[in-house]
Structure 1
């Protein structure tokens, strides 16, 4: 609910500060007095674009500040979503600097215009004739049905389910795309995997085989050197073993003469033992070495396989091939397990869809039940507003898709005249008819959901007589459930207000300014009398004004 409005340096307004209360507030004034300026200022608070032409004095900044009481609107979640600090008494401030720069604040925290638009849309509904086009908006039409059907909880449940469904659907599409792309490479990857699997590679194998190949490729040289080394060590005539044996014998003979000789003899004995061991190994190694063409061929083939695989995969070691083998194993397994994963997601999606269908069905059922009631109430209200032949054709058709608010397609058609054909509201209803339809709908909605403050901007244009009394009665009825502010030129409507404000022009130091003031009882009588018969109103006009005010 709007509780206070302050305007500084805006259009024709120098300084204005006014309080608003619950119920029906009336704003009147002569044409051009500045009623539209008030709406322009509120529009800035709601996030509309601003320019320097808004400034009354271009060397001072313009400030519009609106205070709202949000105690009954349950807007905490919206504030969280918009990253704003929630306060029951919330102040929105808009500033336009002489430089042309514009700033907006919610509870003294800077906000951007898109966030301000979203918030203010939940606080104030400015309604004029040209804005009745929203009647033809399907989302708005659904909101009417759902308000009457008390579908808010079911819709919240549906939207949570739809969010889960869409998440699974995205995962499913991604998995299907991955599976499709993977399957294109599957056969090739499987071939590469099998090829490496059959190779039975192991880390370090290449180095071992290359050493063996080096040995086999030099077998003759190895055989020759081993044989000659053995002969040199073990020959009976000049072999190192015999020579060392003789050396040992000679030193043994003198070992008893001095400790140093004994030490030498022992050391030679140790060398002889080591040499005997070397000779034995030389003999065995010489016997083991033999040329094996078959083993050489096997080694060459095995190494060639490794080299070919390395070249194919553009790597240099067996260890790198083993890494690729593991990667291929994962890719092959992903494709081979994709069907199972897809089946799991499809099952999850089907489970969510079953619950969605159930909630959507209950939403449809509730909507269907209130359609006759809505049509009946609209016809009754419009009949009182001078449209006795107005009729509606509202139908729901099932949708095969999950829509944002259920599985219904809505047809909301109107016929203004008896026997006339039904058509879309914006095509078959005049501006005045649309205004009365919107007024009727807002009246119905105000009894079923908590609406924001609504401001009617002369939607009674072109209306007079008994219809104006009915419009006044409807606005008065709405004001029992919400805050209604009405800019009007009809005395019948003006008399219904709990508060009455007048916009007027004045000259201060040769400069025209617009002002707004709240009227007391005597001023209200005079204002309504003037609305009835002009500035030079008669005594009968005053009497009529008092009758309208029930004084």
Structure 2
């Protein structure tokens, strides 16, 4: 549950630090006093998008921080899975916005992605605002109510897992079918291309060898000339090697009187051996080089074939041409075995479709059983709320497989005798929709352990005794390890709160600021009296306020 809320430099709030209690609390205040600001701040902690315009004018950043007691809600696995420190008595969510447009999110002082804060926020707080009444139009919302009451979590997970596998199998089948059809249209071309590349008998790396051979044959005369020149210098008429040998012998004659020359002689001998080996190698190469016109022609013809294929198939190398050939062979193999492959893919798809249908039927059976219970309970809840002739019915019709099952759901409603049942969002008045939504929330809250529920003016369109009964429902919701906070304009609801907060505006010399405080017993009397009679508080209003508070306290 929410235990503390700290807001700094957010919209019209300079600094606010307020504590919250367990049970049923109410927040009141004049229109425009800043109640929506409080909700906006909490919404940011629940992962809503940030707007730099929310930062108080003249400030460079704002901070919103909330503390929660989560000791009764088994949330340790969430923290362990996400490697976040766990403190069940003081879980801290913090959001910081800067005027530069930066937003940072923290859980227990550890920086986290906003999506993770949103995931945790969904487990901690449910804000029911007036626009949420529009959810009654949404089939997904209606189906989720049925699934919650049916405790269908595992059935739904099993179905959705199977449905995803079915979708993948269906997509694979359709893609395969399209590829095969396209392949058959181009089969003649594919076979020609595969045969052309196959006939080329390409060998990886041959292009480089052929290009080197072509260069050598083209320059054979020049190469041979320079090799002969080198051989002549080393071992021909000039005979550099013989001269080097003579130099070594000549120097050997002075070793005895001049031993320092020994190292030079050894180096000359090494050079002699190396040059002699080089000369022999050059001679062999000069002998092997011979212009062969036919060989050059064949080499260039082979290169021409390779270059032509590379240009035709947009390939940069022989390796790429070989890969293209292999790909063509694979496509043709698919075509040759397409009937069998397609039949296997279709069987897999149909098998998964049947499995999904079976799991969908199980889900549907559970939903139908829960729907009857919901109808009964909603009747019991709505009659005391001033709709004595209410009929509430849930229709479930079969539809094609979808992400949420095989059921098309509709909440049907009638508030009057002999009036036909119609979709609730089409025939219920604003006040009736508010009562329907409160009843649904009260019913769901009994099945889902959500720590904090905030109702934002759910009392719209009701008054008097009905408002009091709605307040009692919220009061009861707050008794079962749950915290319920209601933002209200009705004194009947305000009087039922165990704790009462007031939001108000103050004008200073330079600005207008919003603030919030917890009211004392006497302050509550004045606030409720003002809600009853307006700005001019009469003694009668004060007496009525005391009576409402006394009556409320007797039921708590």
Scaled by the length of structure 1, the TM-score of the pair is 0.70
1:434 aligned counterpart, secondary structure = helix
- The answer to whether 1:547 aligns with 2:548 is no
The residue that corresponds to 1:349 in the other structure is: 349
The residue that corresponds to 2:407 in the other structure is: 408
On the 8 A contact 1:129/1:431 being kept in 2, the answer is: no
Provide Cα deviations, 1:229-259, integer angstroms capped at 9, x if missing partner: xxxxxxxxxxxxxxxxxxxxxxxxxxxxxxx
On the 8 A contact 1:65/1:94 being kept in 2, the answer is: yes
The residue that corresponds to 2:16 in the other structure is: 16
The residue that corresponds to 1:484 in the other structure is: 484
The residue that corresponds to 1:164 in the other structure is: 165
Question: Shift in Å at residue 455 of structure 1?
Answer: 1.1
Provide Cα deviations, 1:193-223, integer angstroms capped at 9, x if missing partner: 67999x89899xxxxxxxxxxxxxxxxxxxx
- The answer to whether 1:464 aligns with 2:463 is yes
- Larger CA deviation: 125-134 vs 416-425: 416-425
On the 8 A contact 1:201/1:322 being kept in 2, the answer is: no
**Structure 1's 30 and 355: CA in aligned 2 closer, same or farther, altered over 3 A?**
same
The residue that corresponds to 1:337 in the other structure is: 337
- Equivalents in 2 of 1:319, 1:494: separation in Å? 81
On the 8 A contact 1:76/1:86 being kept in 2, the answer is: no
2:143 aligned counterpart, secondary structure = helix
2:17 aligned counterpart, secondary structure = strand
The residue that corresponds to 1:134 in the other structure is: 135
- Larger CA deviation: 28-37 vs 404-413: 28-37
- Equivalents in 2 of 1:191, 1:148: separation in Å? 64
Question: Shift in Å at residue 419 of structure 1?
Answer: 2.1
- Equivalents in 2 of 1:201, 1:141: separation in Å? 67
- Equivalents in 2 of 1:325, 1:18: separation in Å? 74
On the 8 A contact 1:84/1:106 being kept in 2, the answer is: no
- Equivalents in 1 of 2:327, 2:471: separation in Å? 78
- Equivalents in 2 of 1:506, 1:465: separation in Å? 31
Question: Shift in Å at residue 16 of structure 1?
Answer: 1.1
Question: Shift in Å at residue 31 of structure 1?
Answer: 4.2
Question: Shift in Å at residue 155 of structure 1?
Answer: 0.2
* Structure 2: runs of 5 or more not aligned: 204-301, 313-317
On the 8 A contact 2:492/2:548 being kept in 1, the answer is: no
2:447 aligned counterpart, secondary structure = coil
- Larger CA deviation: 129-138 vs 479-488: 479-488
The residue that corresponds to 2:96 in the other structure is: 95
On the 8 A contact 2:390/2:414 being kept in 1, the answer is: yes
Question: Shift in Å at residue 51 of structure 1?
Answer: 4.5
On the 8 A contact 2:430/2:461 being kept in 1, the answer is: no
- Equivalents in 1 of 2:130, 2:428: separation in Å? 12
**Structure 1's 336 and 452: CA in aligned 2 closer, same or farther, altered over 3 A?**
farther
**Structure 1's 69 and 182: CA in aligned 2 closer, same or farther, altered over 3 A?**
farther
Provide Cα deviations, 1:100-128, integer angstroms capped at 9, x if missing partner: 65544444455566665555344332223
Question: Shift in Å at residue 363 of structure 1?
Answer: 0.7
**Structure 1's 49 and 339: CA in aligned 2 closer, same or farther, altered over 3 A?**
same
- Equivalents in 1 of 2:319, 2:110: separation in Å? 61
**Structure 1's 102 and 330: CA in aligned 2 closer, same or farther, altered over 3 A?**
closer
Question: Shift in Å at residue 423 of structure 1?
Answer: 3.0
**Structure 1's 189 and 414: CA in aligned 2 closer, same or farther, altered over 3 A?**
same
On the 8 A contact 2:148/2:448 being kept in 1, the answer is: yes
Provide Cα deviations, 1:39-68, integer angstroms capped at 9, x if missing partner: 232233334455555344413532221233
- Equivalents in 2 of 1:493, 1:188: separation in Å? 80
Question: Shift in Å at residue 422 of structure 1?
Answer: 3.2
On the 8 A contact 2:496/2:549 being kept in 1, the answer is: no
**Structure 1's 113 and 344: CA in aligned 2 closer, same or farther, altered over 3 A?**
same
**Structure 1's 64 and 308: CA in aligned 2 closer, same or farther, altered over 3 A?**
closer
Question: Shift in Å at residue 487 of structure 1?
Answer: 1.3
- Larger CA deviation: 100-109 vs 130-139: 100-109
- Larger CA deviation: 41-50 vs 112-121: 112-121
- Equivalents in 2 of 1:104, 1:311: separation in Å? 59
> How many aligned residue pairs are there?
449
Alignment of 1:410-449 (within 5 A): 410-449=409-448
Pair member with larger Rg: 1
The residue that corresponds to 2:363 in the other structure is: 363
- Equivalents in 2 of 1:470, 1:322: separation in Å? 81
**Structure 1's 496 and 344: CA in aligned 2 closer, same or farther, altered over 3 A?**
same
On the 8 A contact 1:129/1:432 being kept in 2, the answer is: no
1:171 aligned counterpart, secondary structure = helix
The residue that corresponds to 2:174 in the other structure is: 173
1:331 aligned counterpart, secondary structure = helix
1:27 aligned counterpart, secondary structure = strand
* Structure 1: runs of 5 or more not aligned: 204-305
1:58 aligned counterpart, secondary structure = coil
